[in-house]
Structure 1
Amino acid sequence: MRIDLLRHGSTGRDGYLDGRTDPPLTDDGWDQVGRQTESRMWRRVVSSPLARARAAAEDYARRTGCTLEIDGDWRELHFGRWDGRRRRDIAAEARGADLLAAFYADPAVAAPEGESWADLQARVARAVERVLTHSGAAPVLVVSHGGAIRAALSHLLGWPLPQLWSLRIQLGTRITLEAGRGADGAPWGEIVEIIQP
């Protein structure tokens, strides 16, 4: 089946760790999403419940009449006490740079009072499996976040999450995959196209 993973558009907050912090899309963000969805048809849209993803998914579903599902497992990583703060401000604190480095290097390390990348992978894997289960409604557009998209790619492609930091997924990026399950029931995926905004 074909699955398109679309990272929400710009919120004007580059450099911030916005997980549960949920600023709205800027005009540029709406333009990015518009370019990625223009002249394309999906029968089903699945979205994170966070407004910066959900608003664009709702708009697309309203304009095209396709099915819309809101799935909480597609929301962004919860950054805990770092949520809504600039990375550079966190790095400037005592031990902040070391804590951030450990957080990005080791999927088991969580942000203070937040979620680890391993936790994110587990819940996004559930979300991906639900998408695969409803394969009769392909193609599917998933509107989500950078961390969740990396976790989905890790699950489908079998790549270790730290390796995925070498893949740039800018705001407004769309990644098209062919995906399914093998004879053994294990998920598989193949990247067909990456369109940066």
Structure 2
Amino acid sequence: MAVEETRSTWVDLIRHGQPEGGQRYRGHRDDPLSHVGWEQMRAAVEPRDHWDVVITSPLLRCRAFAQAIADERGIPLHVEPDFKEISFGRWEGMKAEEILARDGDRLAAFWSDGEANPPPGGEALSAFHGRVARGWHHWVHALWGQRILVVAHGGVIRMMLACVLDVPPGRLMAGLHVPYACRSRVRMDRTDHGLLSCLMAHGEGPP
């Protein structure tokens, strides 16, 4: 086995900061980061952070900061369409309290079992997990041995960690808190026993 194939791969996942308009079910809606959101993202990274490459969702609330980091550090940027947030269908752009008032039972059913109860007009959890997993496995393979920064959405990060931890996506979609500018760190190693993936850190600020 070549030396390059035995190196660890490190991936830092950062959720975007607060977009303009505050907390909403955005999905594919393309709102930019607010001033507060930019401050949150700046606070989430440090000069000592080292990455070889940045991968981002195409949506502006992720892409703008990813582009800024890539430009500042002189590293490549890749835009991955599969890393868009889940489509919330008719809920997109609505605040949680608005959905609760109009569609509370359906919202509760979605968080209880997103596969059986997708958002009205939105994306099934299995389809969402499938496309995120496709992008995840592609980039991990293509960039093996590097330090990777991924700027993405709360739902996307949950689906990536479902891949890392090998747990049902519905469990993480409902059971893992991913606040604005939250960071997670993953380490992957190829061994004689297969691929070993470990969640090294999860929470606010640099790990």
* Structure 1 position 181, deviation (Å): 5.4
8 Å contact kept, 2:10–2:145: no
Alpha-carbon distance in 2 for matches of 1:180, 1:99: 41
Q: Sort the Cα spacing of 1:151 and 1:136 in 2 relative to 1 into closer, same or farther, 3 A.
A: closer
Q: Residue 76 of structure 2 is aligned with which of 62, 67, 80?
A: 67
> Which residue number corresponds to residue 107 of structure 1?
114
* Structure 1 position 140, deviation (Å): 0.2
> Which residue number corresponds to residue 172 of structure 1?
181
* Structure 1 position 92, deviation (Å): 1.0
> Which residue number corresponds to residue 19 of structure 2?
11
Unmatched runs of 5 consecutive residues or more in structure 2: 1-8
Alpha-carbon distance in 2 for matches of 1:118, 1:135: 26
* Structure 1 position 8, deviation (Å): 0.5
8 Å contact kept, 2:164–2:199: no
Q: TM-score under structure 1 normalisation?
A: 0.90
Q: Sort the Cα spacing of 1:16 and 1:169 in 2 relative to 1 into closer, same or farther, 3 A.
A: same
Per-residue Cα deviation, 1:101-122 (whole angstroms, up to 9, x for no partner): 1111223232111102211100
Across the two proteins, how many residue pairs are aligned to each other?
A: 194
8 Å contact kept, 1:15–1:88: no
Q: CA RMSD in A?
A: 1.8
SS in 2 for 1:9: coil
Alpha-carbon distance in 2 for matches of 1:101, 1:127: 29
Unmatched runs of 5 consecutive residues or more in structure 1: none
SS in 2 for 1:142: strand
Query: Does residue 30 of structure 1 match 2:38?
Result: yes
Q: Sort the Cα spacing of 1:136 and 1:152 in 2 relative to 1 into closer, same or farther, 3 A.
A: closer
SS in 1 for 2:136: helix
Q: TM-score under structure 2 normalisation?
A: 0.86
Identity %: 32
For residues 1-197 of structure 1, the aligned pairs below 5 Å read 1-39=9-47, 40-93=49-102, 96-108=103-115, 109-136=117-144, 138-164=146-172, 165-180=174-189, 188-197=196-205
8 Å contact kept, 1:12–1:26: yes
Ranges of 4+ aligned residues in structure 1 off by more than 6 Å = none
8 Å contact kept, 1:107–1:161: no
8 Å contact kept, 1:79–1:115: yes
